[in-house]
Structure 1
Amino acid sequence: MESARPAPHAQAGSSADMTQSTEEDSLVDGPLISADALQSAMRREFQSVPTTCPAGFLSLMHVVYVVLSLCVGVLCVLKFGQEEECSRILGSVQGDSVIVFGKVFLWVLMLLLTVWTHHHHSRVRSRGYLSFYRQTQRLKQLPLLIHSTGNVLLLLLLALRLPQTIHASVMLSILGVEVLVAVPCLLYYTVKVMQFNRQRAAPDVSQEEHSHTYSVTSLPTETGFRGLSGLEEVVEKQADLIEYLKQHNTLLSKRLLNLTAQH
């Protein structure tokens, strides 16, 4: 009897399987990149948020503006014996007009700072620091909102045309309350950004993978009834995460194509 011989296509298939298994073994046996090396590489690529110095400088300018406005309001608007000195310094411009001009200039600086911070926080979001972005999302807009509210109150005060003494007193009171609310917000924002820059942490996705946040043991805490606000927050986080992963995959694809072209 003739012994059964394997078909040619079976031999080709077995040789292909052996080749594939050999390649897979070579990939598995190859040197792997450790997690510590990846974390250190990510930290080397960390880019700090350069908004602390402008925020601190603007806080200082706000305090200086309010102090100067108090001096102008008391000496030049209320006219406590300094009419000649005010006329020599300010000329034909009224003291309350100088305060309003300074307020407009300060508001423009605050608007530029808000645009600047929004630009850099959008870049932080695109790099995967979603938690920091969400923590400072409203905080970075709050000083501009406070300044805008103060501007509205000053416009209403100018429209009421109150007596000079009451007008100056109310104006200075508005500026005093504004600085007591806006400056702490700016300082708190500055502290948050300084802490973020000092930590130089990896993106949120890498931190979650490293700490096993979504492990099996933590799954039961995520089930059950959720309120509307909690559900919206989860959906926002997932949307931010999906957007970051899309951008990250695009960047990795570009790097892979560049490496392939070089070799």
Structure 2
Amino acid sequence: MDTNTEPQVAVGVEGVTNNIMGDQEVLVVTQKHQHYPLPIIPALYSKLLLLVVLPVGGFLMPVFHNEETGTSSFSGLQYLHVCVWAVVMLLTWYIKGEHKNSRILGYHDFYNSTRHLHRTTFYIMSGGNVILMVLACLVRDYCMGGSVSRCSVNISLSPVNYQQITFLLEVVIAIPFVIKHIVFVVRFNAAAAPPDTLADDLAFRISGPESYVGVRGPSSLEWVLERQADLLQVLRHRNSLLSQQVFSLTQQLEQS
């Protein structure tokens, strides 16, 4: 019966140990050069779908709305916008968390290039909420007619029309950012690149281009400190993984 055990492979150090039978087992510990894709494509497409649903619902609801329900078309569109905004907020929270995990795994350049994209839609819709709140106050104070009646003799626009204009402006501004975000993530996943901290030019990434002789660049203390903080966070994450693997190897040695 073969009593030889399989060589144990861990991440972090390299050495040689002897098992019970005297055979040598090589422990190779290096970080795996594997890619960690971002699983946020469905969430981004869901956000894009919500941006399409918002203006479509804004134009269809006044047509099919029944006043006997007790609410006006104006109130119905307000509720619609708040519901879409709430779902976008949850999607933004999830996408932001995945980007943060990607940063911890070492993808600093990608995180910095997309750090504003995953929050832009939420900020735009939050601004839309403010505009709709102000619009509701103006309608209550200055529009004596219904939600589909014109508020002014000179302007033939009803309160619902102002809501529809707000919806269209939000969508026109937000959709390009969502599409750009989708393109970035698709390219990132397709490239299957290892983390930035495994690159050969890690010193260049951390210290900046101005540290090389003959290369001039803008000196930014905040940028250097931010990159150093990113590196410390990655090292802390790796140390945690190494501690778990050392504990697992210790248990295996005690049981053998």
Distance apart, 1:96 and its partner CA: 1.2
Change (3 A) 1:124 1:146: same
- Equivalent of residue 93 in structure 1, options 71, 83, 95: 71
> 3-state DSSP class of the match of 1:197?
helix
Structure ranking higher in helix proportion: 1
Of structures 1 and 2, the one scoring higher in RCO (CA 8 A, sep 6+) is 1
Match of 2:160 in 1: 168
**TM-score (structure 2 length as normaliser):** 0.72
Query: Residues 84-123 of structure 1 correspond to what in structure 2 (within 5 A)?
Result: 86-87=65-66, 91-123=69-101
**TM-score (structure 1 length as normaliser):** 0.71
Match of 1:196 in 2: 188
Distance apart, 1:92 and its partner CA: 3.0
Match of 1:136 in 2: 114
Structure 2: 5+ residue runs without aligned partners? 1-15, 18-24, 144-148, 151-156
Which entry has the higher C-alpha Rg, 1 or 2? Answer: 1
> 3-state DSSP class of the match of 1:96?
helix
Query: Residues 9-158 of structure 1 correspond to what in structure 2 (within 5 A)?
Result: 41-43=32-34, 46-73=35-62, 75=63, 86-87=65-66, 91-158=69-136
Distance apart, 1:138 and its partner CA: 1.4
Q: Percent identity?
A: 27
Within 1, Cα distance between the matches of 2:102 and 2:26? Answer: 32
> 3-state DSSP class of the match of 2:59?
helix
Distance apart, 1:102 and its partner CA: 0.8
Match of 1:219 in 2: 212
Match of 1:178 in 2: 170
Per-residue CA deviation, residues 125-144 of structure 1 (Å, 9 max, x unaligned), is 11111111222211111110
> 3-state DSSP class of the match of 1:49?
coil
Q: Does 1:205 align with 2:197?
A: yes
Within 2, Cα distance between the matches of 1:224 and 1:185? Answer: 29
Paired residue type of 1:86:
H
> 3-state DSSP class of the match of 1:150?
helix
Query: Runs of 4+ in structure 1 displaced over 4 angstroms?
Result: 30-33, 209-218, 221-225
Paired residue type of 2:199:
Q
Q: Does 1:248 align with 2:246?
A: no
Structure 1: 5+ residue runs without aligned partners? 1-25, 76-84
Change (3 A) 1:147 1:221: farther
Root-mean-square deviation (Å): 3.3
Within 2, Cα distance between the matches of 1:257 and 1:140? Answer: 38
Change (3 A) 1:232 1:122: same
